[in-house]
Structure 1
Amino acid sequence: MPHPALWIDPTELLRTPSAERPVACDPALDHAAFVARSLGLAGGLAARGARRAALWFDDAAELAAALLACWRAGVVAVIPNDVLPPTCALVDADVDLWLTDTDLPLPAGRTHAPQALMDAPPLAAGMLDEAAAGLVLYTSGSSGRPKQIRKSWQQLASEVRTLATRWPADEALCVLGSVGAHHMFGLPFRVLWPLCAGHAIDRRQRHYPEELERTSLAHERFVWIASPALLRRVGERIDWAGLCGRLRALYTAGSPLPAAISDHIASACGCRPTEIYGSTETGIVATRQGAGAWQLFDGVEAGTDAAGALWVASPWTAGAREQTADAAELGPQGLHLLGRLDRVVKLEEKRIGLPTVEAALEAHPYVAEARVGLSAGTPRLAALLGLSAGGLHALRNGGRRALIGALRRHLAGRVEPLAIPRVWRLLRQIPWNAQGKLNQQQFAALAGPRPRQPQFEAPVALEDGSWQTAFEVPPDLAFFSGHFPATPVVPGVAQIGWALQVARAHIRPELRVGGIENLKFQRLMRPGDRATLTLRWDAARAKLSFVYRLADEPCSSGRIVHAHEHAAP
């Protein structure tokens, strides 16, 4: 059972304010101030007659206050899964107003900061009605098309109570997360459960391992809510020993965590990740630690249909059966997940399970992560590979053809010949979203033409008047095939082109090449190298100087002479 000194039932969160109870940190927010904020905002929503409000907050504590305000005022809270312009336009047509703490791509007057709506008498404190208007979440699934999922407050409250029973809190901790709070992993685990369990919410999403570690160490004891994508990439980037005894729990969801990653974290800091299986539609379903079977949460019923696909029912599905597309087996040891049935493709009359191909690729030491799918417009498989350190080393010292040849040989005998990908794209890491997903549009873009330039960071102005940007050389740069196949290096002409591209985008849009001066190449630039580019515009001489550096050592440099346009005679 939840610890009675810390636990507040979801329906009682706005009933008895307490200045002694923490709600959030950085900056600190106590429960009394939180309740006042929620009730004040509820009063503003009620005064405006709002029935549906869209919520988007970078600050998880502000999201919590807005969510409780909607519950108290009987307003349906609509939470999009992103705020890209198409999504905002879709949601905006379905709501009365937006509550947010950031700029959104919406018409003027549609968005409101919570403080701006606290211009009416606050609503009274008291018990929250589980039968009141609930909330709407969105999920894109694999197609990228937004889909509405409706949840009642009763469903959400039931799920939070189950989390508290499974993992009762015996001390107040800080809960930090690398995942967003706008979906059915982040919302319960980063917001609602900490709020009820007496933990302090770290307001900001911590996108990078180093940021998560640095922020955590400001607290004596803490919990992490992290994506498998982040945990796959941690490696040696953080000091696990420094987290020993302080990291009390680590929860992750979105995709299965490789057993080797779980084992590494457990041995490095004494805290084995707890995996959560579920979805926006189903809510929480099962949990596990390590490579064993999944254990159903209390209250969850499960079975399989004629095709072997898992169905689940629970109080947080309102007792209704939710059918999944996950192949599964239920046995005495628990639940075994066998991959997605909707990730089976047919090639030349043979059925190919994409998760099987991915698992075979990830068993090779060159591959840290893999995603396989159909190449756009063709009956061919394409593989996106996040290279391991060993894979990057093999690419730099043997070339693309040798690396892919090794992977083809590795797959032979493990999968059908038709299941060996025909298209290969090599990445430092697959850009999974915070939920560990990659939609079809993103896959198609990454499986398309090989890149011809890096992703440059926004240039920053330096004190000496120059501009500097940083970038990583793409492992699969198109120029490597000809320069040179067995020992890939960035050709000088590409480096000049990149300098021109950045200068035209940020410094001198009208820059035209009239000549190149003082060109020097001192070090090779290779796949995966992290480099900087410094640009300086000399207006008096109409020349652009550029310098590439690797590890602060000069790599190449030169000057581009601007060609002035002359009027025709």
Structure 2
Amino acid sequence: MDLALRSDRTRPEPDPERAALILYTSGTTGAPKGVVISRRSIAACLDALADAWAWTPDDLLVHGLPLFHVHGLVLGVLGPLRHGSRLDHVGRPQPARYAAAGGTMYFGVPTVWSRVAAAPESARALRGARLLVSGSAALPAAVFADLAELTGHRIVERYGMTETLITVSARADGPRLPGTVGVRLPGVRTRLVDERGGPVPADGEAMGELLVAGPTLFSGYLNRPDADAASTTGDGWFRTGDVATIGPDGSHRIVGRASTDLIKSGGYRIGAGEIEDALLAHPGYGRRP
């Protein structure tokens, strides 16, 4: 490839509001829906992550995630293209392949990081990295602790949806606490509401449905005005369907899906993920009877 060659044609930059991708939801609460994502939303998300993660052209991103989801495609491929960094897609996200890549940033989902934590030699090889990032689901606190001990890194957790891209993340220069997904990205707004739509205090304890707004939101569902109306408030906030808490410092904790993951007991609302974390932290976890 001759890097000095240039095209003899130029084309105008497309409208930022033009659709760049149509990605389909996972369908956890119904049939999958086509999510129309604009060029503007993708650029806003990736630029905000560059700010949060200090992402530069000097980085080598390593991952083995599927290339048809937001995590693997938008963050994992369009991100390096946007920021001019290198990418090593290792195929299958196996611990040994991650260990051999020599990257500065690594992306994974909790299943991947659990496998890395269970392979100490591979995990220790990641000590030379700059940032380990987990997303797409909640990372068990036990895996967070194991990775911190083996790799020397407190993993960065972030939160987003197909409809919103990434809206909340721990920062490279900020605290990284197990069970939390960080703070709002630049330009993003979040708030909590109760079952009647009333405000919920950001005291780190009170739970409410998480609503988000900002430049990373999608343009709407493909040919589904009914779904658009159901998922958006009258004043333009997107209803995530996730129950969360927000601390006084702006840190977010995702408790679970409002429709499936909440258990009411003795007047309290308990997230299924909290019970899972408690079981994983039990001294008897992993021992055979």
- TM-score, normalising length: structure 2: 0.74
Q: Offset of 1:302 from its aligned partner?
A: 1.0
1:223 paired with 2:105, answer: yes
Unaligned runs of 5+ in 1: 1-16, 21-31, 37-121, 368-387, 395-569
Partner of residue 302, structure 1? 190
Matches within 5 A, 1:5-84: 19=3
Q: Offset of 1:132 from its aligned partner?
A: 3.1
Q: Which runs of 4+ in 1 moved over 6 A?
A: none
Q: Distance in 1 between matches of 2:277 and 2:56?
A: 39
For the residue of structure 1 that corresponds to 2:70, the secondary structure is coil
For the residue of structure 1 that corresponds to 2:259, the secondary structure is helix
The CA deviation string for residues 397-443 of structure 1, in whole angstroms up to 9 with x for no partner, is xxxxxxxxxxxxxxxxxxxxxxxxxxxxxxxxxxxxxxxxxxxxxxx
Asked if the contact 2:165/2:216 (under 8 Å) is kept, the reply is yes
| Aligned residue identity for 2:98 | L
1:251 paired with 2:133, answer: yes
CA separation of 1:345 and 1:161: change in aligned 2, threshold 3 A: closer
For the residue of structure 2 that corresponds to 1:205, the secondary structure is coil
Partner of residue 314, structure 1? 214
Partner of residue 233, structure 1? 115
Asked if the contact 2:94/2:112 (under 8 Å) is kept, the reply is yes
For the residue of structure 2 that corresponds to 1:257, the secondary structure is coil
| Aligned residue identity for 1:175 | L
Matches within 5 A, 1:282-297: 282-288=164-170, 289-291=176-178, 293=180, 294-297=182-185
Matches within 5 A, 1:292-371: 293=180, 294-307=182-195, 308-317=208-217, 320-334=236-250, 335-344=252-261, 354-367=272-285
Q: Offset of 1:177 from its aligned partner?
A: 0.8
Aligned residues: 252
The CA deviation string for residues 501-528 of structure 1, in whole angstroms up to 9 with x for no partner, is xxxxxxxxxxxxxxxxxxxxxxxxxxxx
CA separation of 1:353 and 1:162: change in aligned 2, threshold 3 A: closer
| Aligned residue identity for 1:153 | R
Identity of paired residues, percent?
29
Asked if the contact 1:259/1:290 (under 8 Å) is kept, the reply is no
Partner of residue 196, structure 1? 82
CA separation of 1:296 and 1:345: change in aligned 2, threshold 3 A: closer
CA separation of 1:155 and 1:18: change in aligned 2, threshold 3 A: farther
| Aligned residue identity for 2:122 | D
Asked if the contact 2:127/2:151 (under 8 Å) is kept, the reply is yes
Q: Distance in 2 between matches of 1:270 and 1:211?
A: 19
Q: Offset of 1:366 from its aligned partner?
A: 4.5
The CA deviation string for residues 31-55 of structure 1, in whole angstroms up to 9 with x for no partner, is x7xx97xxxxxxxxxxxxxxxxxxx
| Aligned residue identity for 2:192 | T
- Match for 1:149 among 32, 35, 42? 35
Q: Offset of 1:171 from its aligned partner?
A: 5.0
RMSD: 3.3
CA separation of 1:346 and 1:222: change in aligned 2, threshold 3 A: closer
- TM-score, normalising length: structure 1: 0.40
Q: Offset of 1:226 from its aligned partner?
A: 0.8
Asked if the contact 2:46/2:79 (under 8 Å) is kept, the reply is yes
Partner of residue 68, structure 2? 182
1:205 paired with 2:122, answer: no
Q: Distance in 2 between matches of 1:314 and 1:355?
A: 27
| Aligned residue identity for 2:3 | A
Q: Distance in 2 between matches of 1:331 and 1:321?
A: 20
Partner of residue 223, structure 2? none
Q: Distance in 1 between matches of 2:153 and 2:273?
A: 28
Partner of residue 278, structure 1? 160
Unaligned runs of 5+ in 2: 171-175, 196-207, 219-234
Asked if the contact 1:176/1:201 (under 8 Å) is kept, the reply is yes
| Aligned residue identity for 2:133 | Y
For the residue of structure 1 that corresponds to 2:47, the secondary structure is helix
